[in-house]
Amino acid sequence: MSFSLKTREESIKFLKDHTVDVLIIGGGITGAGVAVQAAASGMSTALVEMQDFSEGTSSRSTKLVHGGIRYLKSFDVEVVADTVRERANVQKVAPHIPKPDPMLLPIYDDPNSTFSMFSLKIAMDLYDQLANVKGTDYENRVLTKEEVLEISPHLNADGLLGGGIYLDFRNNDSRLVIENIKQAQADGGHMLSRTKVIGFVYDDSDQINGVKVKDMITSEEYVIHAKVVINTTGPWSDTVRHMTKDKEVIDQMRPTKGVHLVVDREKLNVSQPTYFDTGLNDGRMVFVVPREDKTYFGTTDTDYEGDFSHPTVTSEDVSYLLKVVNNKFPERNLTIDDIEASWAGLRPLISGNGGSDYNGAASGNITDESLEKVIQSVDEYEIGTLTREGLEKSIHSVKTQAGDGTKSPSSVSRGSSLTRADDGLITLAGGKITDYRLMAEGALNMINSILSKEYGDDFVLIDSINYPVSGGHFDATNVEGAMKDYIELGVSKGLSEKEATYLAHLYGSNTKDVLSYEDVEFNGLTKAQSMALMYSLENEMTLTPVDYALRRTNYLLFMRDQLDAVKVALVEAMKEYYQWDDNQAQLYTTELTEKMSESSLDKLKTEG
């Protein structure tokens, strides 16, 4: 048993009596990334997350690891360069999670369209160049109108000019978080979910030397002492900064809400991820992504000021996305009744940074002519005849088509920020999942230097590009070969090929450990389902049925039909394992049922 309720109790006991080197607040991808690098570098490390791991934004993304081709139309070649390189690094450390999934980008005859056929080709070439995929099978392709319709026959043919295909990667956001958390725990860290920071403690010089926490399971409050405290709470990072004694904290976050909707594949069948302008002249773009037997689409991008722990999908969000998708797939006629699941998340955007773009609108696109100049500069930068400063200068001198300087939510920077306050609190916020390793690397340099200068500690930081997370301990250059071995192993234990394939892709090099639970049988669950659940209970800090159905697996989002069939058995199995009484089991059943109902928008459906 490596990471379970039992180890949680041991960690709490340890943390009450010891001062750790690093205490991380927030168990989304940012905190998890810092935890892995700190623990692996030999620092004694603790992480506290007030909900389940990844329950904040990091289980609510578009679930892509991408460089954001759209950035190329809004000045951010540097951002794209960094993120496409990081994408490759994420694939290296977690090879079982991000999988190549080329993106189709259809182009329509619309004066407001983000890309023309001409600028798309240039952007895709630049993208390939930055991603280093030129000359490989993943190199971009320009498509005629007929070719686009052959690939995606339900797309609106009206005004369609053609399109392109370029390399992108699918992701499993919450699995990436838990695999980082598990690795940090395996390397000696103390990773606590359902542990909320409610205040800070200080030394005699008013420097933060720990946090007050509340155990959200037992309601016990206690103190954890640490040499360095880092705030990685994403959208909550200002809230946490305001918990310090500093009364002059200036807010830096401007969170925006993004919504995704899921329908059955039979209702909307796309052969591959597809990315297009909304067609509503709002400068935004939307993804339609096939996953399991479902298709999801999103996202919206609206300012948000409600409860950060519980962003919800509104009827306006649904109308907007249905309008966009029905325009592009006119025969589909999707209605709210077709929606099987949904999710809403908050982008932890830093306000005040330079304009940038992600999935949404740009404050000013580059003209095609300028884009070509930028490409030339990148070429020169790549071959070493232009410096990074020269490249930046060239990028910043390009001409825009529009842009009055005011920022729509979509143009607030997707960049990250790393700061240290006078009281010693470090805050690392912003960025994207794709950038998490790089962001953590920056934080570790800062933490290491503090530990060295202020405490005389001497740590050697790991090479995080070559440090796999849990489940990623196999040859990243031969994912297919490794998967084949894990699948064969599953089949040899009596699983069907389909079940074995599912487990191999979910658990990577941990598949062997999952299969070691072959003798476990929970009533109403198949052998494969029993093994996976038992593995998760003992090794993934799965404490509730929702943890399992929503964040350790994707049952609630993309395997809804299967969840309907196993939900009673799932709660019963966990009741048996945790020895819950009937009341507790009933509470967890209600929680799961309410989550499912919220996700399938039952309330909005009945309100009409």
Binding site for ligand FAD (CB under 6 A): 25-31, 48-51, 55-58, 60-65, 196-197, 232-236, 240, 258, 299, 345-348, 431-434
Q: How far is the CB of 310 from ligand FAD (least distance, A)?
A: 11
Q: How far is the CB of 165 from ligand FAD (least distance, A)?
A: 18
Residue 552 sits at φ, ψ, to 5 deg, of -85, -30
Structure tokens at 145: 């109108």
Rounded to whole angstroms, how far apart are CA atoms 454 and 445? 14
> Which residue number, 21 or 55, has a Cβ lying nearer to ligand FAD?
55
Instruction: State the nearest-atom distance from the C-beta of 213 to ligand FAD, in Å.
Output: 7
Q: Give the nearer residue to ligand FAD in terms of CB position, either 58 or 553.
A: 58
Nearer to ligand FAD by Cβ, of 162 and 472: the residue is 472
Q: Which residues pair with 258 in a beta bridge?
A: 345
Cβ closer to ligand FAD: 191 or 495?
Answer: 191
- Joined tokens for residue 186: 């395996």
Nearer residue to ligand FAD within complex by CB, 34 or 462:
34
How far is 293 from 270, CA to CA, in rounded Å?
A: 11
Q: How far apart are the first and last CA of the chain?
A: 48
The CB-of-422 to ligand FAD minimum distance in angstroms stands at 21
Beta carbons of 281 and 251 less than 8 angstroms apart: no
Q: How far is the CB of 6 from ligand FAD (least distance, A)?
A: 22
Counting other chains too, the contacts that 275-280 makes at CB distance below 8 Å and 24 or more residues apart are: 275/69, 275/103, 275/104, 275/105, 276/105, 276/106, 276/108, 276/328, 277/108, 277/110, 277/112, 277/113, 277/114, 278/324, 279/108, 279/110, 279/324, 279/327, 279/328, 280/323, 280/324
Count of Cβ atoms closer than 10 Å to residue 607 Cβ: 9
Q: Residue 438 or residue 520: which is nearer to ligand FAD going by CB? A: 438
Min dist CB 525 to ligand FAD, Å, is 29
In whole angstroms, the minimum distance from the beta carbon of 534 to ligand FAD comes to 26
Output the smallest distance, CB 467 to ligand FAD, in A: 19
User: Please, is 198 exposed, middle or buried when counting C-beta atoms within 10 Å of its C-beta (0-12, 13-18, 19+)?
Assistant: exposed
User: Strand 190-192 vs strand 45-48: parallel, antiparallel, or unpaired?
Assistant: parallel
Min dist. Cβ of residue 262 to ligand FAD (A): 14
Q: Which is nearer to ligand FAD, 304 or 502 (CB)?
A: 304
Distances (CA, A) of 321 to 261, 267, 594: 8, 15, 23
Closer residue to ligand FAD in complex, CB, 61/365: 61
Among 50, 47, 29, 30, smallest CA distance to 39 is for 47
SS3 state at 66:
coil
For ligand FAD, the closer of residues 26 and 364 by Cβ is 26
